[in-house]
Every structure is written in C-alpha cells, then in structure tokens.
Amino acid sequence: MTKKVAVLGSSGGNLFHSGGSDPVSLLREIQTQCRAADITVQAVQFIAAEGSMDHLKGSTPAAMYGWNAASEGFERLAGGTLAEINREAAALDEEIARMIEEGEIDGLILMSADPSGANRRAVEAAARRQLPVVGTGGTSMATVKSKGANVIAFSGTTGTTNLTRAVSYAMALSRYWKLPYRMASGDGGIGGSSGSGWKRVKISGIMTSSMPAFIAVLVIMSLAKLPFLSGLQDAVLILSALPPVILAALAARKVADLGEVTLIAGVTAGLLSVPGGIIGAIIAGLAAGWLAPWTFRLCTQRNFPATTVNITAGALSGLAPGLLILFALGPLTTAAANGIRQALEALLQLNPAVIGLGFGLLMWPAIMRGWYHATVLPLILLEMEKEGNSFFGALDMAGLVMVSAGILLARIAFPAAPEERKPLLRPLWMNIGFGTFIEASYRYMKENKFVQAGAIVSSGLVGMIAGQFGLKSTAYVPSYAALLLSNDAPRFLLAMAVGLLGGFIAASAANLAQRRNMFTLTTDKKEGSG
C-alpha cells in the first residue's frame, strides 16, 4: 500500500551549504527516492533563504516552496523577506497539520525544520498521531524528539548530500513500513544485487573520459623540457599521480553513483593505487564503486546517522581497495602494464619500418569497425603513462586525423557541386584545429573504395615513418600542439604532411573522376535530347 509523506523544513544553516541553496533539486531528489519506495509526497512546506540561516535577519530575501497536487511537482508559493515568509508559512503549517489529523499523511521528512515556529502545528500533530518522522538537522531534530514525536531516524547535516539524505530518508521509512526499496538513480542501485551497474562499465569509456588528465601531464612534461621552464619538474612529479586518480574516480562512478560519496571513494582508492599504475587504479576504482553503495546500505540499515553513513561509505570504500593495490596487487598490475609496453617496443625493434607500416594499415579498419576504443586507446594510455606521449598517439594524429583532413580538403578543392564546400569547412577545422571528428570523412570513404584504400595506404605510410624514426605524440589536441608534444617535431611534421597529402591525393583523384563522369553523363544526355 502506498504511503504518503509531508516534507517540511528550510534551507537551514549547514544545509544551505550542502544542497539547501538549490531547493528544487533537493526536493526532487527526495521525491525520486520516495517514489522508488512506493512513497508519495503529499504536502511540502520548505522555506529557502538567500543565505545560511545561521547569520540571517528578518529582512533577508527568502521564498516558500510547496506541493502542486495537479502537476505532482514542487512550486514556488511566495517570495519576500524571511519574516514575511515565516508569517505566510503559518497558514500552510496549519493546513498540513489538518491533513495529518485527518489521516491524509502517514509520515514526515524534516530538514532543518522549525518545530517551535514555522512547523510547530504539523510536528505536534505528527507527535499526537505517532507518525514516523525522519530528518536531518541536529538542533531541530532534538527539539522534535522532545515534543514526543516518533523519530525513527535522524542525523546532523554535516558531510551529507542531497542524494545521500534522500536515500537515508527513503530507506528508514521503507524499513519502518516494510516496503521494498532500491535506490533510484542511474547506477547499479544501493542493493548492488542486480549487477546493472556492472553492465554499464566499459573500460574503453573510462579511458576515453580520462584523456584530459593524460594530456595535462604530457603538456607539463613537454614544458618542463624547456631550459627556462625546468622548474616545472616539481609540477611533473605532482601531476603524474593525476591519471590514476581520475581513472579510479571515473571507474567508481561507473559502477554506482552516490554523488560525492562515490567520488571521494574513487579518489581515495586512486591516490593509494598510484604505485600500481593505471591498471591498478582502474581495479581499485571499480572495487570502490562496488563497496560504496554496499557500505552505505549496511550503515543505513543499522541506523547510523546520515553524516556517519556518508563519511564511512566514502572513506572506507576507497581505503580498502586502495590499500590492497598499494600493498598487495600493485606489483602485479605494474608488471602487467610494463609487459604490454615492453612487448610493443620489442615488436617495433624487430623491423621498425615494416611493423610501423602494419600498425598504420590497421588504424582505419580498426576505427571504422569499432575496435579503436577497445584496442588502440588502451595502448595509447599505457604508453602515455610511462613516456607522456605515444607511438599509437602519433599514428592517431598523423594517420587518422591528418588523413581525414586531407580527404575533406580535397572535397573542398574539387567538390562535386560548389555548394558542398561551405559545410565541410567546420569539420576540416575540427580535424586540424582540435584533432577530432574524423567521422566527417567516413562518408566519402564509404561512398568510394578508392578513397578508403587511399586513406589506409596513407596511414600505412605514416606508420612506416613513425616506426622507422620512433615517433611519439598524442591525439585529441590541435595539430600544432601534437607537433609540439611529439618527441621529434621535424620528423613528426613529415609524418603529418604525408598523411595530409596522401588523403588529399586519393580523395582528389576520386573527386575529379566523379566530376568527369558527371560531365560525360550530362554531355550524353544533351546529345541524346538533340
């Protein structure tokens, strides 16, 4: 049977800095979690001030939010000074008290409520009927309890978030009413039994999202090599821990997102797993993401205060896997990463030009068939972890991005129709200026096998040059930046030029042949009609 609750309170003192400054988001999170427990919001009285109520006056601007039954949503009922809003709140407090007395409300959720003022009648009515009450706000909840209310769960606000408070409210009420509840969110849920969070875990997606961290380290490493910026070596040492930390945090949030709790758990695990490299960081992050909701549920079921639940889930969930990597599994994960890098280096040393040619020829088929993020990107990041830049990063920039730019440039120079030029200017700029959006050239490769073959051959030539000279760089940055971030700028410029020119020549030949065919068809039609 569906239960009905009233949500009462204010933006409070500490609560203002922990989500109370955005009342709509705070209230919506409560509604979402209550709905997951088959609990409906029946009434709302929430006073939001434009600052912490620890240091406010009656003249401070404020607003009152209520419940719109027709739209089943929250609405702003009134605005004015805090003193004016408190006077208007008295009428709504009386109405909610009436609903409680008439059995229209089954429980209360309180947040920094005012049981002696704006919420006095509702709290007293709930106490008389012994409705279950949950809430946060240490001082106010102590007063509520002193009025004889049936407080089943309460806590201070410090260290909590909108999500974790809402989950603790819903979990306490569902347990009291014996209702089934599973945290409603985009994660694997508090219960963690369905495995839906794990189904969303894609290592390639985690690695793609972490690229900015690797680029940041590479930029600092490159700048530190300049004689007049040698002082940046200290920054390099500090920033080298960034990629594992970011990877662990992203991995944790992929498994289960408890907001800041999961983020803190992931960062803690990542920082401790830095010696284990990026493989160790990902493992630690995934473990932290699994442990965070499990710990959260365990603590909540044992009636821990919300503040303690937050701190315990965030801290312990990160410490446990992080320490495991640091003291036990780190050497294994480091050895695995080193083994992959050494195998690649040994392979290239067999015959640098030929092996480089082979890798180059595989780049376009890999990305067009969806293999890039599962194979090439992990290799790029494993290389960047050690060297800052990467052989496969060089292939990406010169063999994919620059070849794509060459194809687009050819379509602009020799279009099938003049109106084709303008739409291609932005994709070309994204290739050269940002090192991305090579998808813009897919269409022309799929339409013409010669263009596709030309792109593959051009990438192969780039690979041969990169292999022969041991070139390393990165992708996902502007072309000129990739040049500056390479280990051999003059030769990498040659590789980029070969990629650009190869794509341009192949696409130009195809475009000119297409225009010639169109001209022949047009001439034949005119002669036939004549």
Per residue in 18-73, pLDDT (tens digit) is 777 888 889 999 999 999 999 999 999 999 988 777 666 667 889 999 998 888 88
Is the confidence at residue 239, as pLDDT, over 90? yes
* Mean pLDDT value across residues 504-510: 95
Tokens representing 444 are 């022309």
Least confident of 42-51, 97-106, 209-218, 517-526: 517-526
* Mean pLDDT value across residues 354-361: 98
Query: What is the reported pLDDT for 186?
Result: 46
Is the confidence at residue 196, as pLDDT, over 60? no
Q: What stretch of H or E contains 107? A: strand 107-111
User: Pick from 208, 529, 228, 251: which is nearest to 377 by CA?
Assistant: 208
Degrees, nearest 5: CA angle 314-317-322: 115
Is the confidence at residue 500, as pLDDT, over 50? yes
Is the confidence at residue 143, as pLDDT, over 90? yes
Q: What is the mean pLDDT of the chain?
A: 90
Between 197 and 323, the higher pLDDT residue:
323
Q: Cβ distance 81 to 56 under 8 Å?
A: no
| Cα(157)–Cα(144) distance, integer angstroms | 16
Query: What is the reported pLDDT for 269?
Result: 98
Per residue in 268-320, pLDDT (tens digit) is 999 999 999 999 999 999 999 999 999 988 888 787 877 888 889 999 999 99
Tokens representing 343 are 């195998």
Query: What is the reported pLDDT for 402?
Result: 98
With 0-12 CB in 10 A as exposed, 13-18 as middle and 19+ as buried, what is 71? Answer: exposed
Domain range 3-177, its CATH number among 1.10.1780.10, 3.90.1150.10, 3.90.10.10, 3.40.50.2300? 3.40.50.2300
Per residue in 244-260, pLDDT (tens digit) is 999 999 999 999 878 88
Q: Cβ distance 116 to 143 under 8 Å?
A: yes
When pLDDT is cut at 50, 70 and 90, the band that residue 522 belongs to is low
| Cα(421)–Cα(425) distance, integer angstroms | 7
Per residue in 318-335, pLDDT (tens digit) is 999 999 999 999 999 999
Q: Which residue has the tokens 């102590």?
A: 142
Cβ neighbours for 149, distance < 8 A, ≥ 6 positions apart = 108, 123, 126, 127, 131, 133
* Mean pLDDT value across residues 467-492: 95
Q: Cβ distance 37 to 180 under 8 Å?
A: yes
When pLDDT is cut at 50, 70 and 90, the band that residue 488 belongs to is very high
Backbone phi, psi, residue 134, to 5°: -125, 155
Least confident of 169-173, 238-242, 417-421: 417-421
Tokens representing 120 are 């006095």
Entry pTM: 0.80
Which amino acid is it at 335?
A
Q: What stretch of H or E contains 343? A: helix 330-350
List the chain domain ranges.
3-177, 196-333, 351-526
Is the confidence at residue 191, as pLDDT, over 90? no
